[in-house]
A and B are shown apart, each in its own frame.
Chain A
Amino acid sequence: MSLHNIAEIAAIALFGVGLTLLMMSRNLVKKVIAFDMTDSAVFLFLAAKGYISGRRAPIIENGVQSMEAYINPIPAGLVLTGIVVSVACSAVMLSLCLRLYRRYHTLDLDEITALARKEED
């Protein structure tokens, strides 16, 4: 028996690992990594959905213009857009981590919460 949707299975497993880490970890940088993992999982899933086995990348070669020769190019375009969005999110998140670290000298979310509450009172 051969698995033909192994990429999708890997993507969902990766998504699960990322989501668990995002919820469980108290370290902010780990949370950023976890978020990148979930996004990568979604992109892998999308790319896998656009792939049609036995066909080539959608770049016209040797004048072959038949639609049957190439894979679906739209998911690739969507993944590209998604990656840009994901990079922007990571950048904002990391800059927030940096400023929190400069202020509280820790990356532990629970410790920061306790310190911030003390500061507010």
Chain B
Amino acid sequence: MSLALWQSIPLACVLLPLGSAALTAFLPGRWARRWCLLALALITGLSAVFVLRIWSFGRSYTYPMGHYPAPWGNELRAGPLEAAAGLVFALVMLLSMLGGLGWLDRHIAEEKHALYCALMLLLCASLQAQVYTNDLFTAYVFIEIMTLAAAVLIAVRSSGPALLAATRYMIMNLIASALFLLGVILLYDLTGHLLMEPIHIKVQELAASGAYHLPLTVVVAVMASGLAIKSALFPFHTWVPGAYGTSTPASAAVLSGLVSKGYIFLLLKVFHRVIGLETIAQTGIGDVLLFFGLAGMICGSVAALSQCDLRRMLAWSSVAQIGYIFAGLGLGTEAGLSAAVVHMLAHAACKSLLFISAGGLYTGESGDTDFSRLSGAALSAPLAGAGFTIGALSIIGLPFLGGFTSKLALAQAAAAIGGPGGWAVLICLILSTLLNVLYFFRALLILWKRGETAPGHPPLTHRTASGLAVTALSLLNFAIGVLAVPLLQLVRSGLGLLD
């Protein structure tokens, strides 16, 4: 099979940031920032072209690396679903970096900017690789690269709490990596393959014959729990508030918006493409994920309500939103999966908008985010305030915004299932939305409080860039909300519903 030039774009999306990361580490800070932004913009552009091409191509294809045939060579696989995720991840990363430049100057010494850019690019490469790879061991290696890059992005402020948060993050993630690797090895031992399609065929044979039921359950359990720990599903969320609450805005936006999503996307591929939804249903792991997802939806929102710090409130809100995604995965139907994917993309867009625009609202020299000092902050920085408001409304689920699309899709998927599981999802969805309204409106009322003006922070550098980023991220939220129907169609065709 001969490949068209555009079919190499996924490979370029992985290799370009990898090469750029090695290069930027040696550039002076200013040029490193420029190169990093240029590379991210290039990847975003390429991904956009790729989405259009794959939309007209209409199906997915495998890309043999180095043109070695299937059982021997490594493979990438790309279809509508991967293309959409790749585009949103690249775009959000570019805008987060752009919007966080101002605080980067204040939080990180100039001579370390090159290394920061290198880490961002490594993160980008590993995200793209997790989206496109068709090989479980390659996925493991890029998971580890992402974990290391993310840990250093947390620690880079070198304040005590940031170092502690990075250490906690590393400890949890190392346990999770070991579990995931164990799952990959067990699966290799059972099937003799590392590529996703051959494993899928063998697993279906095993499931049909009824042999190895227990080992298959163990495989699904260790892989799901490994990736759930990494993406901060509810009982494993302890590192989240510290990690998102202490890092610089660009790091927080990327960590909450993208890093956890990369792992979830991989879990989705494992469920859908490697093991198969029917086999997952037999193991009962989906119900466990559903339970913890629902628990996270409620507990994360309740905890967010009791925070007196803006950034920590956003971090707890992330815990709740991850709960939504896992609830969608746990439903175990393809409607549930597509709701999970749409929520993943919508949350990537709105949580990064919230963290970036919150960066424009911080007060004081070092960026204080205690609510007691934020009253009227939005009035002194109207653009950031507007961005924060749009993000908050999107998470709450106002129509024409991203959050509405995904919550509606999740509710429809739950209603289609019915039974106690479906009802539980619907009830938790309503409860959690009410809690969202409560804590976000409290924040909005404080931020837009008339009469008092917050002290404000000394003017940051790169104001145009951050204004541009906030505007673009707001538009992205509107785009996901308005283009809901084609987006859902894209995701469903990517999941193989329409083919």
Residue numbers of A with Cβ under 8 A of B are 15, 19, 22-23, 28, 31, 35, 38-39, 42, 45-46, 49, 74-75, 78, 81-82, 85, 88-89, 92-93, 96-97, 99-100, 103-104, 109, 112-113, 115-116, 119-120
CA distance in complex: A97, B181 (Å):
25
Considering the complex, give the chain B residue whose CB is closest to the CB of A118. B160
Q: List 14 A-B contacts (CB under 8 A).
A: A19-B178, A22-B171, A42-B181, A49-B188, A78-B137, A78-B185, A81-B137, A81-B141, A85-B140, A96-B163, A99-B158, A99-B163, A100-B160, A115-B160
- Shortest Cβ gap from B367 to chain A (Å): 13
Interface: B152 (CB within 8 A)? yes
Q: Is the CB of B182 within 8 A of A42?
A: yes
Per-residue CB contact flags for chain B residues 160-186 toward chain A (1 = under 8 Å, else 0) read 110110110011001101100110010
In contact, A15 and B182 (Cβ under 8 angstroms): yes
| A38 to B141 CA separation, bound complex (whole angstroms) | 17
* Chain A interface mostly: helix
**Interchain CA distance A42-B137 in the complex, whole Å:** 14
Whether B174 contacts A93 by the Cβ 8 Å rule is yes
Residues of B close to A112: CB separation below 8 A: 164
Q: Which residue of A lies closest to B149 (CB)?
A: A92
Contact assessment for B148 and A88 in the assembled complex, using a CB-CB cutoff below 8 Å: yes
How many angstroms between the C-alpha atoms of A97 and B174 in the bound complex? 15
Q: Are B167 and A96 in contact (CB under 8 A)?
A: yes
B189: interface (CB < 8 Å): yes
Which residues in B have their C-beta under 8 angstroms from that of A115?
160
Q: B151 at the A/B interface (Cβ < 8 Å)?
A: yes
What is the chain B residue whose CB lies nearest that of A18? B178
Task: Given A19-B175, A49-B188, A99-B158, decide whether A89 and B163 contact each other with a Cβ distance below 8 A.
Answer: no
User: Could you tell me the distance between the alpha carbons of A28 and B170 in the complex, rounded to whole angstroms?
Assistant: 11
With a CB–CB cut-off of 8 A, which chain A residues contact B182?
A: 15, 42, 45
Please name all residues of chain A whose beta carbon is closer than 8 Å to the beta carbon of B155 when the two chains form the complex: 96, 99
Q: CA separation between A100 and B170, bound complex, in Å?
A: 14
Instruction: Supply 15 further A-B pairs (C-beta < 8 A) apart from A35-B175, A88-B148.
Output: A19-B178, A35-B171, A42-B182, A46-B185, A74-B194, A78-B137, A85-B140, A92-B170, A93-B174, A99-B155, A100-B160, A100-B163, A113-B164, A116-B161, A116-B164
Complex Cα gap A39–B163 (Å)? 24
